[in-house]
């Protein structure tokens, strides 16, 4: 029995064959693409104050290659995308580190490290600032910035005093209106 070719199929015309193999461009990068990728990585390394080799490792891992000579023309845009993602993550990390430093300085100046740690534990389930995200760090910074110093009363007490004075004013105007109504 012959099983190769288009004829002599067991199921005859009951099934369709699809060939999903695509022609992949395996040609290496052109010199202009290599230069552009090198300059993009050097610029990212300078912006992040890192060695270019670290970024190259990230690009190689993202593309599944071992060196720049293994990167094909089809992978060029993916390589550029990997570099820009690395740069964005590095900038976010640097911004978070700067915010951590500001929070720690402000908390130390006010002497409120323990209340800050308690706030972090209650709000985020951890007290390690370096593991918090940017939005969470912004909340911690706002907490530390608004935390009352020894000379000020806590915000809850100020709110209570304000609401008490409002109640007294409303009650006194009610009594004055009642007395005025009785006299007339």
Q: What is the pLDDT of residues 93-115, one digit of tens each?
A: 999 999 999 999 999 999 999 99
What is the distance between the alpha carbons of residues 126 and 134, in angstroms, rounded to a whole number?
15
pTM: 0.61
Q: Does residue 76 fall inside a structural domain?
A: yes
Domain range for 47 is: 31-146
Stretch among 3-17, 58-72, 94-108 having the lowest mean pLDDT? 3-17
C-alpha dist (Å) from residue 45 to 11, 42, 74, 107: 60, 5, 24, 33
Does some domain include residue 131? Answer: yes
Domain count, the chain: 1
Q: What angle do CA 59, 60, 62 make, to 5 degrees?
A: 65
């Amino acid at each position: 029995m012959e099983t190769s070719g288009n004829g002599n199929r067991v199921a005859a015309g009951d099934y369709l064959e699809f060939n999903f193999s695509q022609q992949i461009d395996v040609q290496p990068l052109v010199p202009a693409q290599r230069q552009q990728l090198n300059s993009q990585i050097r610029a990212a390394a300078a912006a992040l104050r890192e060695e270019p080799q670290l970024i190259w490792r990230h690009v190689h891992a993202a593309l599944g290659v071992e060196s720049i000579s293994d990167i094909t023309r089809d992978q060029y845009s993916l390589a550029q995308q990997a570099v820009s993602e690395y740069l964005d993550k590095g900038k976010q990390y640097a911004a978070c580190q700067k915010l951590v430093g500001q929070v720690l300085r402000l908390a130390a100046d006010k002497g409120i490290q323990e209340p800050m740690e308690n706030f972090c534990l209650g709000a985020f389930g951890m007290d390690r600032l370096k593991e918090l995200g940017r939005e969470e760090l912004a909340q911690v910074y706002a907490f530390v910035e608004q935390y009352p110093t020894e000379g000020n009363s806590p915000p809850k007490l100020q709110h209570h005093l304000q609401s008490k004075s409002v109640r007294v004013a409303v009650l006194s105007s009610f009594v004055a209106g009642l007395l005025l109504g009785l006299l007339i």
